Amino acid sequence: MTLDFLTADAAAKALFVLYFLAILVGGIMAVAAKSLVKAMLGLIKTLFGVSGMYLLMQAPFVALMQLLIYVGAVSVLIFFAIMLTRGEEEGRPAMGKKILAVLAAAAPAARVGGLLLRHAPMPAGTPVEISLQALGQLLLTDYVLAFEAISLVLFVAMAGAVVLGFERRLSK
């Protein structure tokens, strides 16, 4: 039995289809699910698929960080937000609202799609993996100011959230 058809290129294409389906099915699940928690599961599936796309583009670090931050932390944050805000079960949305929602989704899709059709992306060739070391080297030399600013921005974000919303709990 020969395995000629199982080249690396074919494997990459098969993985692309797999990740594409994960993104698509997850997106549909996120939009169509009645339960918000199930919608979030769909979102997580989409994020997984996007991470797979990063892997195919030879960016394994970005892919793993996508898993760590989006699948790991952002989805937990969204879950908290669902648990915090959700009250009783709401009825099905009205028809007018649905039409407005479709319009709101279609407008940016049409705009971006039109742009993509008019300015087709150039074939970039085979992507080359940039090593983690090279990234860190740049962060420590050329982009050191940005590197320090990131830490400051994150501190301001955290502190701002705590200033705005944190209530000291009284211990009894």
Q: Residues with Cβ < 8 Å from 50, sequence gap 6 or more? A: 19, 23, 66, 70
Q: Does 167 bind other proteins (CB under 8 A)?
A: yes
Report the C-alpha gap between 44 and 25 in whole angstroms: 11
- Residue owning tokens 């079960």: 89
Q: Does 168 bind other proteins (CB under 8 A)?
A: yes
HSE-CB for 120 with a 13 A CA cutoff: 2
Q: Does 113 bind other proteins (CB under 8 A)?
A: no
| Contact range with other proteins by CB under 8 A, out of 24-32, 91-99, 111-119, 145-153 | 145-153
Residues forming the site for other proteins (CB under 8 A): 8-9, 11-13, 15-16, 48, 52, 55-58, 60-61, 65, 68-69, 72-74, 76-77, 80-81, 83-89, 126-127, 132-137, 139-140, 144, 147-148, 150-152, 154-155, 157-159, 161-162, 165-172
